[in-house]
Amino acid sequence: MGGVLCCLSSPIDFDGEVDLYHFDLLRAVGKGAFGKVRIVEHKCTKKVYALKYIEKAKCIKQKAVANIIQERRLLEEIDHPFVVNLRYAFQDDENCFFVLDLMLGGDLRFHLDRLGRIQEKVVRFWAAELSSALSYLHKQRIVHRDLKPDNILLDSAGHVHITDFNVAIHYSERRLHTSVAGSMAYMAPEIIGHKGYTWHVDWWSLGIVVWELLFGRRPFDGRTSEKMKQSIVKDPLKFSSRADSLCTAHGQDFVRKLLDRNPRTRMACRGRTHGIQDVHEHPWFSEMDWDELESKNLQPPFVPDISKANFDVSHELDEFLMVEKPLTHTKRKARVDLEKMKPDLRQLVEQFTVYDFTKTKRMSYYPHNQPVVSAGHDDEGGDAEPAEASQSATATILPTATIVERSQAGSPDPGDCSGRETPAMPPLPAESPI
């Protein structure tokens, strides 16, 4: 059936290339450094999604072009029940758009802040689903690098989903990465210590998340970046005197094995294809039916109340009170002269390509993907001192803010396995939770 017949009130060709006119714009639910999130409804199918849109001018000003293109490419490769999957991607003259699975249950940070800590049976269920998602990503040769409660979303039924692939990369099969990326409180010691790392770091981050959910605090802390680094690298892992009343011995053992500073002996790090078996066989999950879990047939022990907003409602006020320019449907210019564009804008226009999950087969850019670099922002030397983590006005660290630092000398290309060196991705502030 032609798209024009599908929606008689609007002369839109739904058989043509997807654009913003295919969607009705509903409420605003999130806001990041240069991007926002709206709930949208596809005018033809009536399916509801999350629309993450990023203003090109702000993206270029933040020197985040490479990150946006990298995220767009990686999301095209991913399709998993415990990941916030990409459904459409497109752009207009002002914005780049990601249309993603809608998660109405809020992020785990929201629920952790509200409840103080999470019951063990709930954390165990979430840990199982997250383990499944991480194993899948690592088989796809993707390391997320920023797993934290803020980047884990619940659907309306209570299943968890990993989101925000803004600093995710294809990890190299040939040598270790050394660039610092992620949120410091969740970074593995091999990242902090510049020892080189690969996909093992995601399992450490999972350990920090599980600990924080169970006990309402993180195992390593510090008011300054240096103190936090020292804590992550050197401080012994200590359970509180109340730990036994909050978590069984099996749960404590599981998180202890995830927080092994030796990545070779860390839980689930035996190999990309075999490591997940260690999780399956751990006694904490002795009663888990993994096939039913991955089919989403198990009843989650925690179901969010979707009759209430599971997000900061001020985002909606901000959008509709026009504090900033509201999103509107606009036609793209029919003809653009790429040769006259500045390098960063041209890169976005050319490389943020259209994706439609109903028409396009998901593809992998690994290992033949083109290296993604930030045009016009060359690295000023591999030995340059990395920037420190984001600081507040009181000089205390912001432990959950996403940071990206320069690659050290000899680090691999984050988007290519050829061994060639490319400029490091520039610093990027934390993005919206969807």
* Residue listed under structure tokens 């249309």: 99
Burial category of 339 from C-beta neighbours within 10 Å (exposed 0-12, middle 13-18, buried 19 and up)? exposed
Q: Which two tokens stand for residue 168?
A: 């995710």
Give CA–CA dist 51/277, Å, rounded: 36
Give CA–CA dist 213/60, Å, rounded: 36
CB 206 within 8 A of CB 213: no
Q: What distances in angstroms separate CA 343 from CA 57, 92, 373, 375, one per listed residue?
A: 13, 17, 11, 6
* The one-letter amino acid at 57: A
* Coil vs helix vs strand at 242: coil
**146 carries an active-site annotation:** yes
Q: What distances in angstroms separate CA 151 from CA 14, 81, 145, 191, 206, one per listed residue?
A: 32, 15, 11, 19, 12
Q: Which two tokens stand for residue 100?
A: 């993603």
| Residue 139 marked ligand-binding | no
Q: What are phi and psi of 113, to 5 degrees?
A: -65, -35
Q: Which two tokens stand for residue 244?
A: 């036994």
Burial category of 86 from C-beta neighbours within 10 Å (exposed 0-12, middle 13-18, buried 19 and up)? buried
H-helix segments, 247-393: 249-258, 275-280, 290-294, 314-320, 343-351
Q: Which one, of 155, 136, 391, 175, lies nearest residue 272 by Cα?
A: 136
Catalytic one of 19, 92, 146, 416: 146
Give CA–CA dist 201/73, Å, rounded: 21
* The one-letter amino acid at 326: P
- Active site (catalytic) residues: 146
Annotated binding site for ATP: 52
Annotated binding site: 52
